Amino acid sequence: MSSSLLNWNIRLQCRAKLSIKEFRSQSSMAYGISFRNCLQSDASRTFRLLRYKQCNSFQAPSSYCNGTKRTPAHSCLQENVTKYFDFIIVGSGVAGLRYALEVSKHGSVAIITKAEPHECNTNYAQGGVSAVLCPSDSVESHIHDTIVAGGYLCDEETVRVVCTEGPDRIKELVAMGASFDYGEDGQLHLAKEGGHSHHRIVHAADMTGREIERALLKAVDDDPNISMFEHHFAIDLLTSQDNEEIYCHGVDTLNTEIQQIARFIGKVTLLASGGAGHIYPLTTNPLVTTGDGIAMAHRAQAVISNMEFVQFHPTALADEGLPIKPMKKRDNAFLITEAVRGDGGILYNKSMKRFMPLYDERAELAPRDVVARSIDDQLKKRGEKYVFLDISHKPRQQILSHFPNIAAECLRYGLDITSMPIPVVPAAHYMCGGVLAGLHGQTNIKGLYVAGEVACTGLHGANRLASNSLLEALVFARRAVQPSVEHMARSSVNTKHLDIWPHPVLSVSLQDSIVEDIKLRTRQIREDLQAVMWEYVGIVRSTNRLKNAEWRIADLELQWEEFLFCRGWKPLMINSEACEMRNLFCCAKLVVRSALARHESRGLHFTEDFPYVEESKRKPTIIFPTSSAKLSWSSRQVHKQLHC
């Protein structure tokens, strides 16, 4: 079996001594794990490999600099550069920015972002942030709602930590200038969304993520110890290995504006790079969301967990149902927030018959996985391409005040949501799995931390409760600070190691016509991969379809790599299109392998061959990488690890 199921409780009851062993398999990737459990006197929740361990392997260079506040833009090819920081952050969403504002009190910080700083999943989050702020609500109730929505696969200690610390994180945002909606009583207006038993969603109309991002970016801009590097595509982590331990020393990036390789060397690296929505053709995620952080961490031998649990948001705007069709296909589907259903929105099929009560007693307020499968079932049974979400029975002014962004977007295409139903369809939205993290965002790689959607903390289990994602990002960004600062204080960087890792090579040595052919072929392969994932690894799955997907993905990857290398491509060669493609392949394979390993239907993973929940399988999926000798080019680090 390529993946293993592991009970979260092991993290609470014992130190699990893990040994990675290679499984012989005819597939392109294989994983193995064996456990030797031992008793312990203290109740530690973490794996041995997640325990924090002091590293004194490196000496500080003579000059540690802050870099520039913004990277300059030039038009010509530049020489490779190396930059030094105490803390390196990949990603400029809520997790990365919040972490940066704390660690900047202790050292120099580089934020590496793939496009503009605001182009991230945070900026597209409409609904809000969940937190217990109402006297009639309770932390225990929030915990219960989270665990129920998560298919009872959540790590209960993580859930308790997040739900308990959440209110303080919200208060910090308010203190930093985030402007949320308030009620007539002068208190924060709290909305209710699917899966929640109380009103606990803090929001800024239907643009909450945008408002949080604005407030955090302003604070970052005002901080002289933080440097923002825009349009820097993270290529691979820089790692070394000393016996069984792996250490992270930074990241190689491609400055896509000036076509320059920029190496960032640091004492601590935080991945906050978001999910992998673009493994599917229809997703609410922005174009930058191609699984870069998950793929880089996997190639660096980080432990990955729960990748089968891909959340499809039930209600993305269905362009086909709009009175005026968009002129071109969107890069990402426009989200119709969960809060519309929470505010009384009703789902109808195209015959205007309400259908959710047929599937769940909670009707439109059922968790997202239930609603998405119900819509999918309606579409397949009726041979239709979208359903309707109707909020028009509510007062016009209430609709416009609660959902101004949605109302404006729909009106652009001739649809007035105050008098007409909204055509909606499910779309890939959120990865509940990712890089396995401990309670402080630590990974099995020393000096590497994760926060936000790239991480699998155990909070979401088999399905994320609405508006828990921004909350998780805020909580874990803060929790990662103290161990990061401690690691930074113990660690240093030796300049003699800087030239050990070979630099990635730009494809400038290839003829322009060949580069264009490669870009065109890569776009075609990308669309083919997305089609396979949508057809075979979607909302409803089966073992046969998953195996078919596994075979087709391996074939596409082989075709693509042969096309590249037959045209002069070299193993160290990179461009942005190729980097994204290899990351999409990596994440797609992780999703398929994890799905094949779960022989039950739980939360977001529903398979026709195992349609019921099985208590014996209430364990997370854990994936260890195999020997690099067994991997395709796409699944290897651009450079090999340095062995100390």
Catalytic residues: 368
Element (H, E) at 485: helix 481-490
Element (H, E) at 317: strand 310-317
Q: Are 182 and 189 in contact (CB under 8 A)?
A: yes
Q: Are 60 and 492 in contact (CB under 8 A)?
A: yes
Gap between the Cα atoms of 305 and 593, Å rounded = 11
Gap between the Cα atoms of 481 and 99, Å rounded = 7
Residue 429 vs residues 62, 288, 335, 619: alpha-carbon distances, Å: 45, 14, 9, 23
Structure tokens at 540: 């409803």
Which of 129, 92, 123, 127 has its CA nearest to residue 109? 92
Q: Are 36 and 17 in contact (CB under 8 A)?
A: yes
Q: Which neighbouring-strand residues pair with 241?
A: 246, 643
Element (H, E) at 112: strand 109-112
Gap between the Cα atoms of 41 and 259, Å rounded = 55
Gap between the Cα atoms of 641 and 247, Å rounded = 9
Gap between the Cα atoms of 506 and 210, Å rounded = 35
Q: How remote is the C-alpha of 636 from its chain's centroid?
A: 20
Residue 642 vs residues 183, 266, 327, 473: alpha-carbon distances, Å: 57, 16, 50, 31
Q: How remote is the C-alpha of 358 from its chain's centroid?
A: 32
Residue 371 vs residues 149, 235, 346, 406: alpha-carbon distances, Å: 12, 37, 12, 20
Q: How remote is the C-alpha of 44 from its chain's centroid?
A: 27
What per-residue string of b and e applies to 614-637 under the rule 16 or more CB within 10 Å gives b?
A: eeebbebbbbbbbeeebbbebbbb
Q: How many residues does the chain have?
A: 644
Which of 520, 465, 501 has its CA nearest to residue 196? 465
- Coil, strand, or helix at residue 610? coil
